[in-house]
Chain A
Amino acid sequence: MLENAVVGNEVEAPSETQVWDLVGQTAHRRAATYGLLSRLYRIEVDKEFLQELKETRFPAKAGNALMDEGYRAIGKFLGGMTAGTELELRRDYVRAFIGEGTDGKSAAYPFESVYTSENRLRMQDARDEVLAIYRSEGLNRSVDWHDDEDHVALELEFMQFLCDKLANAVKIGDFDNAESLLATQEGFLTEHLCNWVPLMTSDMRLFAKTTFYKGLASLTEGYLEMEQELLGELLGTATEDDKQTVI
């Protein structure tokens, strides 16, 4: 729908309100996707969630090759579910994100600091920065969360939070705030998520054994790519190449 609005530029430019409506609607969908991704990284998949996933329909053509690949891999995995699948996924979660070595290179550690610091350490500058960003939006980590704040699940959840806030801002007509939220999202995506998650997903493909988590890697990487293009387009910061990709 966004594509039509942009392509329709030649015939009749959409009004600002129409654009914002579209932004509001996509914000809900975006929040849902971020929420799903966040959940998949936060903890292992349990029985109930696994069943939920099995009953979920994933887009066949999401508009991004990596996302399509990811959804297909996950769908295929869910089709082959057996009684042992839950255990298999739990093991693979540990294998992918916790690993078995002590050399700091035995898993796809889901922390921004690990991928952006020289010695692959946790709790580095990246963590301090994202924490400051969370706090600037009135957020802090919940008491139930016992890991670092630059965990991928938290960063994705933060984007989900911003999407919800964006949807709300559009709903009440506060377009200035909505634009500011879009800018915050774009900044967070560029300076943080897109700066390191592709490195983590690359490691996931190496360490995970199941097509579920390998598919999740593709899905995540593809979604962030698409998000970056979308936000660039909305804020007018997209390059010509990006615009062509979107259209």
Chain B
Amino acid sequence: MESNEIHAGIYQGEPADAGAPVRPAIHTTRHDDERPPQIRIAELFERMQPHRQILQAILEQCDKKPCPFAAVQEMVEGLSANHRSVYSPEGFCDLLERAGALQKVTDKGEPFPEEDPEPRVVVEDGVEYLEPVELPELHYITTDDAKQAMSSTDPVSEVEKLFEKDAHYLPVYKLILTMCAEDGGVAMPALDNAIVNDPLVQSPRCYASRFVTFLESAGAVTWQSSWHITEAGLEGLEMLRDVPAAGM
């Protein structure tokens, strides 16, 4: 019998008084990543390889001057027309902002207000009312850290790295890139048919999607209702000029 005190439990508007257990408040602030932006940006691009093209496109659009979010939204939606992604344009911008690649600004390039504005008081017939105040239109601008990170990134080098790592399959890559370079691009079934009997993909058994995934991550191909070669892909194809294509 430790204590015979009974605590009154006066409800004072605290959640614990209401019966809910006291829990730490849900985080309302972003998790502050203390690492330098360069590292965060590189990590973001590394982790979001399938979305590199969109991320890069946003940074390019917001590079020279503040770009209204609406424009960024339109551009991203256009690029995503054939991609079903869980990331919304706001989501992409939010990720880039957290990585330190984008900054929220006004149309004049001034820092965007961090807090919601207090409503203004208007008087009508002697009665005071609260009216929500409009925030300035949201703009984004690419940060210097992002510009630096982009300049040090060479899309072609990603393709080169891929060819180095996966050198055994260079003929297959050459065939796929060649087919993607055709007008109208190429569909996956056609790529599959093209490589299905090639000895290189028999053991271990590989399919076209494996190679296309790697090429897309390296930025060599892109999906636009069918698979198309990119500029980086063309340069990659040039690197493979002396390699016999699969099936030959």
Contacts and interface: CB of A to CB of B under 8 A. Distances in A.
Interface stretch (A2-10, A36-44, A200-208, A239-247): A200-208
A209 B28 CA distance: 6
Interface centre among A75, A84, A120, A200 (most CB of B within 10 A): A75
Of the candidates B21, B70, B122, B132, the one having the most CB atoms from chain A within 10 angstroms of its own CB is: B132
Interface stretch (B133-141, B146-154, B175-183, B193-201): B133-141
Contacts of B19: 105, 115, 120, 199
A72 B130 CA distance: 7
Interface in B116-144: 116-119, 121-122, 124, 127-135, 138
Interface in A85-115: 87, 95, 105, 108, 115
A29 interface: no
Contact of B121 (A60, A76, A207): A60
Given A57-B129, A60-B121, A203 B20 contact: yes
Contacts of A58: 119, 129-130
A202 B13 contact: yes
B134 A83 contact: no
Nearest to B89: A83
A203 B15 CA distance: 5
A61 B123 CA distance: 11
Contacts of A72: 118-119, 130
Contacts of A105: 19-21
Given A84-B90, A105-B20, A61 B25 contact: no
Interface in B24-50: 25-26, 28
Nearest to A76: B116
A123 interface: no
A85 to B, nearest CB: 10
Interface string A62-85: 000000000110011111111110
B110 interface: no
Interface string A137-176: 0000000000000000000000000000000000000000
A79 B131 CA distance: 8
Contact of A84 (B88, B127, B129): B88
A59 interface: yes
A59 B73 contact: no
A201 B130 CA distance: 23
Contacts of A75: 118-119, 130-132
Contact of B130 (A59, A80, A120): A59
Contact of B116 (A80, A83, A205): A80
A198 B128 contact: no
A79 B25 contact: no
B128 A206 contact: no
Contacts of B69: 82-83
A79 B21 contact: no
Contacts of B11: 198-199, 202
A82 B130 CA distance: 19
Given A75-B119, A202-B14, A60 B130 contact: yes
Given A57-B129, A202-B15, A203-B18, A76 B26 contact: no
Interface string A193-220: 0000011101101110101000000000
Nearest to A57: B129
Contact of A200 (B14, B18, B70, B132): B18
Nearest to B104: A82
A120 B21 CA distance: 12
A84 B92 CA distance: 12
Interface string B89-131: 1100000000000000000000000011111011010011111
A54 interface: yes
B84 interface: no
B168 interface: no
B134 A79 contact: yes
9 contacts: A59-B130, A76-B116, A79-B119, A81-B132, A115-B19, A202-B14, A202-B20, A203-B20, A207-B26
Given A59-B130, A60-B128, A76-B117, 11 more contacts: A72-B118, A77-B116, A83-B69, A83-B70, A84-B88, A84-B90, A198-B11, A199-B17, A202-B11, A206-B15, A206-B25
4 smallest CB-CB distances across A and B, nearest first, come from: A80-B116, A75-B119, A60-B128, A199-B18
Interface of A: 54, 57-61, 71-72, 75-84, 87, 95, 105, 108, 115, 120, 198-200, 202-203, 205-207, 209, 211
